[in-house]
Amino acid sequence: MFTAEQIMAAHAQVKSGADFPAYIQAIKDMGVTHYEAYVTDGHTNYHGGNNHTATVPAKYVPVAIATQYNANGFATILRAHQQGKTDYKTFIADCATLGIEKWQVCIDKMTCTYYNIAGQQVLEEAIPH
């Protein structure tokens, strides 16, 4: 089974959204089936078989999440991040400002789903592989 330390080592290789597909493959190879990443403080819960969960603790001082979701703004910053134009810290700040509370990655389906502060799904997209 995977550990939080192994996950953090794989994540350390991600410099921008352009590195995301390789990261997903690395954690898939470890046995991760899905995870939830929280914008508020960066903690992430990784799940695998046999109800195994590893939690990567908070990565930064908590940030406030906007109560209004801005779909157009989020589409713009997401596209820029996926093209490698922003780093993770910038992406997190932008997500908070635009009303994204968390995202959930399902490795089996190769999807990433984003949620607003009310817990509503606002976008689901395929992860390139």
What is the predicted pLDDT for the residue at 22?
Answer: 87
pTM for this model (two decimals): 0.86
Name which of 81, 78, 74 is nearest 14 in CA terms.
81
What is the predicted pLDDT for the residue at 54?
Answer: 97
What is the predicted pLDDT for the residue at 58?
Answer: 94
pLDDT digits (tens, 9 = 90+) for 37-74: 999 999 999 999 999 999 999 989 999 999 999 999 99
Domains of the chain, with CATH numbers? 4-126 (3.30.1810.10)
Band (pLDDT 50/70/90 cuts) for residue 13 is confident
What is the predicted pLDDT for the residue at 98?
Answer: 98
Residue with tokens 């995977």: 2
